[in-house]
Chains A and B, each alone.
Chain A
Amino acid sequence: MNKTATGFTKKLDIPTPKEKLRHPMDRYLRTERFPHIWCATCGIGTILTAFISGLEKSGLEQEKVAVVSGIGCSGRAAGYLRLDSFHTTHGRAIPFATGLALGNPELKVVVISGDGDLVAIGGNHFIHAARRNIDLTIICINNFNYAMTGGQAGPTTPIEANASTAPYGCYEFPFNLPYLAESSGAVYVARWTSLHIRRLAKSITEALLKPGFSFIEVICPCSTLYARRNRLGTGLDLMRFYHDNALIKHGADTREIDIHYQDRIVVGKFIDKDKPTFLQKRDKFLRGKLGDKFVPYKGPQPI
Chain B
Amino acid sequence: MEADPIGVATGNHYIDGDHACAEGAIAAGCRFFAGYPITPSTEVAERIAERFPKVGGLFIQMEDELASMAAIIGAAWSGSKAMTVTSGPGFSLMMENLGLATMLETPCVLVNVQRGGPSTGLPTLTGQADMMQARWGSHGDYEIIALSPNSPQECFDLTVTAFNLAETWRVPVLFMMDECVGHMTEKVVIPEAKRLHVVPRKYYRGKKESYRPFSFNGSAKTAPMVKTGDGYFIHVTGLTHDERGYPVINAETQDKNVRHLVNKIRDNEEKIRLLEEDGVADADVIVIAYGISSRVALKAVNDARNKGIKVGTLRLITVWPFPEKRIRELAATTKAFVVPEINMGQIALEVERASRGRAKTLLVPHAGGWVHNPNDILKAIEEGAA
Residue numbers of A with Cβ under 8 A of B are 30, 33, 63-64, 66, 68, 78-79, 82-89, 91-92, 94-104, 106-107, 124-125, 128, 278, 286, 290, 293-301, 303
Interface contact A103-B75, CB-CB below 8 Å: yes
Residues of A within 8 A of B97 (CB): 89, 92
Interface contact A87-B56, CB-CB below 8 Å: no
Interface contact A95-B71, CB-CB below 8 Å: yes
Interface contact B6-A295, CB-CB below 8 Å: yes
Residues of B within 8 A of A101 (CB): 74, 78
Residues of A within 8 A of B100 (CB): 88-89, 92
B236 within 8 A of A: yes
A107 and B80 CA atoms in complex are apart in Å by: 14
Contact partner, A96, options B56, B70, B203, B239, Cβ 8 Å: B70
Residues of B within 8 A of A296 (CB): 56
Quick check: which of B226-234, B290-298, B304-312 contacts chain A, the rest being far away? B226-234
Interface contact A297-B228, CB-CB below 8 Å: no
- Binary contact track B214-258/A, C-beta < 8 Å → 1, others 0: 000000000000011111111111110000001100000000000
Interface contact A83-B233, CB-CB below 8 Å: yes
Interface contact B203-A303, CB-CB below 8 Å: yes
Interface contact B227-A125, CB-CB below 8 Å: no
- A102-B75 contact, Cβ under 8 Å, with A79-B246, A84-B229, A92-B96: yes
Residues of B within 8 A of A124 (CB): 63-64, 67
**Could you jot down 20 A-B contacts, CB within 8 Å?**
A79-B246, A84-B229, A84-B233, A84-B234, A87-B247, A89-B70, A89-B97, A96-B73, A96-B74, A99-B72, A99-B75, A99-B77, A102-B75, A103-B79, A104-B79, A104-B228, A107-B228, A125-B70, A295-B54, A300-B78
Top-9 shortest CB links A-B: A300-B79, A99-B74, A103-B78, A99-B71, A95-B67, A87-B237, A103-B75, A100-B74, A95-B70
Closest B residue, CB atoms, query A100: B74
Interface contact A98-B64, CB-CB below 8 Å: no
A295 and B57 CA atoms in complex are apart in Å by: 8
A89 and B100 CA atoms in complex are apart in Å by: 7
Most buried by A among B57, B229, B233, B239: B229
Shortest distance from the beta carbon of A120 to any chain B beta carbon, whole Å:
14
Residues of A within 8 A of B384 (CB): none
Closest A residue, CB atoms, query B78: A103
Interface contact A102-B58, CB-CB below 8 Å: yes
Shortest distance from the beta carbon of A195 to any chain B beta carbon, whole Å:
29
Residues of B within 8 A of A293 (CB): 53-54
Interface contact A85-B235, CB-CB below 8 Å: yes
B81 within 8 A of A: yes
B32 within 8 A of A: yes
Interface contact B82-A103, CB-CB below 8 Å: yes
Question: Given known contacts A100-B74, A124-B67, A293-B54, what 9 new A-B pairs fall within 8 Å (CB)?
Answer: A63-B230, A87-B238, A89-B99, A102-B58, A103-B82, A124-B63, A125-B63, A128-B63, A303-B203
Interface contact A106-B31, CB-CB below 8 Å: no
Residues of B within 8 A of A102 (CB): 32, 58, 60, 71, 75, 78
Residues of B within 8 A of A100 (CB): 74-75, 77-78, 228
Contact partner, B235, options A79, A95, A290, Cβ 8 Å: A79
Residues of B within 8 A of A104 (CB): 78-80, 227-229
- A96-B71 contact, Cβ under 8 Å, with A63-B230, A107-B228, A300-B80: yes
B34 within 8 A of A: yes
B62 within 8 A of A: yes
B201 within 8 A of A: yes
User: Which B residues from 28 to 66 make CB contacts under 8 A with A?
Assistant: 29, 31-32, 34, 53-58, 60, 62-64, 66
A65 and B240 CA atoms in complex are apart in Å by: 25
Interface contact B233-A99, CB-CB below 8 Å: no
B137 within 8 A of A: no
- A86-B74 contact, Cβ under 8 Å, with A295-B6, A300-B80: yes
B5 within 8 A of A: no
A263 and B145 CA atoms in complex are apart in Å by: 55
Interface contact B54-A98, CB-CB below 8 Å: no
B200 within 8 A of A: yes
Contact partner, A95, options B6, B74, B205, B238, Cβ 8 Å: B74
Shortest distance from the beta carbon of A122 to any chain B beta carbon, whole Å:
9
- A85-B73 contact, Cβ under 8 Å, with A92-B67, A295-B54: no
User: Which B residues from 71 to 93 make CB contacts under 8 A with A?
Assistant: 71-82
Most buried by A among B76, B78, B81, B236: B78
Contact partner, A103, options B29, B32, B247, Cβ 8 Å: B32
Interface contact B79-A301, CB-CB below 8 Å: yes
Residues of A within 8 A of B237 (CB): 78-79, 86-87
Shortest distance from the beta carbon of A204 to any chain B beta carbon, whole Å:
19
A295 and B55 CA atoms in complex are apart in Å by: 6
Residues of B within 8 A of A96 (CB): 70-71, 73-74
Closest B residue, CB atoms, query A32: B246
Most buried by A among B55, B67, B234: B67
- A99-B78 contact, Cβ under 8 Å, with A63-B230, A89-B238, A128-B62: yes
- A95-B77 contact, Cβ under 8 Å, with A84-B234, A89-B100, A125-B67: no
Most buried by B among A82, A88, A293: A88
Residues of A within 8 A of B54 (CB): 290, 293-295
Most buried by B among A79, A83, A298: A79
Closest A residue, CB atoms, query B247: A79
Residues of B within 8 A of A97 (CB): 74
Shortest distance from the beta carbon of A64 to any chain B beta carbon, whole Å:
5
Contact partner, B229, options A68, A88, A106, Cβ 8 Å: A106
Residues of B within 8 A of A84 (CB): 228-229, 232-235
- A63-B247 contact, Cβ under 8 Å, with A87-B236, A99-B82, A295-B6: no
Shortest distance from the beta carbon of A284 to any chain B beta carbon, whole Å:
12
Most buried by A among B72, B232, B236: B236
